[in-house]
Each structure stands twice: as C-alpha cells, then as structure tokens.
Amino acid sequence: MLERALFLPVLDWPMIFLYASTGVRLAPAPGSDAIEGFGIPFEASEELSVGLTSAARDKEVNVAAALLARQGAGLHVDVNSAESLGEAVLAIKKQVPSDGVVSMSGREIELPGSIVCVGGAWARGGARQRGGAVGDLVVDLAGLYHASLLVQSRSGVQYVAQVGGVSCEQRKLRGSLMPSGMEGSATEELMSIGFEGGGPCGISQSIANEIDRIVGRAKGERISVARDKVADSTEAWIHVNIDAGGLSLPAVLTWANSD
C-alpha cells in the first residue's frame, strides 16, 4: 500500500468511491481522513450534484434518498452511516451486477461507499470503514465524461475503456479511479486538442506539452505526462506520473472519447 493518501480534490462534479482493499487511499480535502477503495463514474446533472451536496451538508438523509431514487443508478443511502457523515459526504451502497461488470444500472451485490460531493471532506473516522478484496471486478468507463485519474495498483479493480478517437481502441488497466483535481473546464480543453493517430503513433511532444499545461492547473498532487510513454498514449488515455511526495506513481489520465 502507498504510505500516504493521495490528495486529489473533487471540484466540479461528484464521484462515487467504493470501499475495498486496493492499496490506494484518497484524501479529497486538506486534513480529511483517508479512505481506501476505488472510484466509478457518476456523471450527475448539476441539479443532482447541488442537491446531494446540500443534503450531505445538512444531513438530510430523506432528501438525499429521494434524489438517488429519482436518479435510478442502483444507489441508495446507507442510513446506518448517516450519523457519521462529513460536511459534504454521503454514505451510500452501490448495487453491482452479478456478472462483475460495474455500470450505473447494476443489481444484486451491494458494496459500501460514499458519494464525494463538490468541496467535500470525508467523515471523521471514515478510514476505519474498509471493504474486502475486489477480486475479478471490472469497471466499464463508458459512462465517464470528466477527466479522471486511473492510479495503477496490482490489487485494484480492472477498468476498461474505449479510447483513441474514431479508432475506438479498447484499453484496460488494473487500479483505482480517482478525481483528477481539475475543474470541469479542463475536460473541455482536453477534448479540444487535435489528437492525431494513436496506438502505435502515440502523441506528439507538442500535444504532451499542451496536456502538461492543462494538468498543471490541477489542485492537489502534481501531475505530468509520462514522456517515456507518449508512444503508448492516445486520445482519452494519457500515461502520466503523479508526484506523491517525491514518489512517482504511474497513472492514466482518461476522459470521454470523442467517437
């Protein structure tokens, strides 16, 4: 396990973070307790995001439950954890399909976790809420829009994504999905880059420079393009390094593919 948690704040959209033994811990706010697990996409509307943030802050469990029920993504409030909520953290359970592929419409298996809302901090004592091993769980990133980080971990879950623009490459990585610490506008900037090629062609140094300029504004850990892996990077799948207190962690920056 990484000795310290990664400080990667949630800024413009919420993220679902499920508790599991992945070897990677997240601290989404300064001084917040860390929690171990993995993220899955949660592309909530602005109305839902604001509503959940308000409900978590004011501990309005019934309001949050109604919002999640209306959203219909196999999520519900964990009422047993409601009393230990942080200012903007909503304890939930996520239903996972029996085939082990996590999407936003799964059923049957329940995993504990939290929705980390904009500006959120974990509930004190949250680090004691641990999940078990994830085994053969696979997370399909087809529903991901905003730029996020896939931090590599041998004990993480398997993520699959379609990337590379119209070439529609299929890539996979074992690890944990984390917030990127970037605002939503950064995703739009990444999407506006004129990617060419991909796969064996990789990305040019000028594109790598442009991506470095964008991720350089991220809050939290320092992120930079892995220059030794530009040949294996492509649109919506950029190999990066996270500078975690002098330790360089390999990760992938990913977002919605343009196809």
* Residue 133 included in any domain: no
pLDDT at 121: 37
Give pTM, 2 decimals. 0.82
* Residue 259 included in any domain: no
Average pLDDT rounded to a whole number, residues 41-65: 76
Give residue-wise pLDDT tens across range 232-253. Answer: 999 999 999 999 877 889 999 9
Please name every residue paired with 254 in a beta bridge, in sequence order, or none if there are none: 148, 237
**Of all helices (H) and strands (E), which one includes residue 181?**
none
pLDDT at 88: 42
Q: Which residues of 237-255 are buried (b: 16+ CB within 10 A; e: fewer)?
A: bbbbbbebeeeebbbbbbb
Please give the structure tokens belonging to residue 57: 């802050």
* Residue 60 included in any domain: yes
Domain boundary pick from 128, 157, 178:
128
Domain boundary pick from 85, 110, 128:
128
> Which phi and psi (to 5°) does residue 210 adopt?
-65, -40
Number of domains in the chain: 2
pLDDT classification of 129: cutoffs 50, 70, 90: very low
pLDDT at 36: 84
pLDDT classification of 16: cutoffs 50, 70, 90: confident
- Say yes or no: 223 and 123 in one domain: no
Domain boundary pick from 128, 158, 187:
128
What percent of the chain is predicted at pLDDT more than 90? 31
Cα angle: 230, vertex 185, 22; to 5 degrees? 60
- Say yes or no: 86 and 145 in one domain: no
Residue 195 exposed, middle or buried by CB count within 10 Å (0-12, 13-18, 19+):
buried
- Say yes or no: 158 and 65 in one domain: no
What range does the domain containing 87 cover?
6-128
Average pLDDT rounded to a whole number, residues 204-211: 95
- Say yes or no: 161 and 232 in one domain: yes
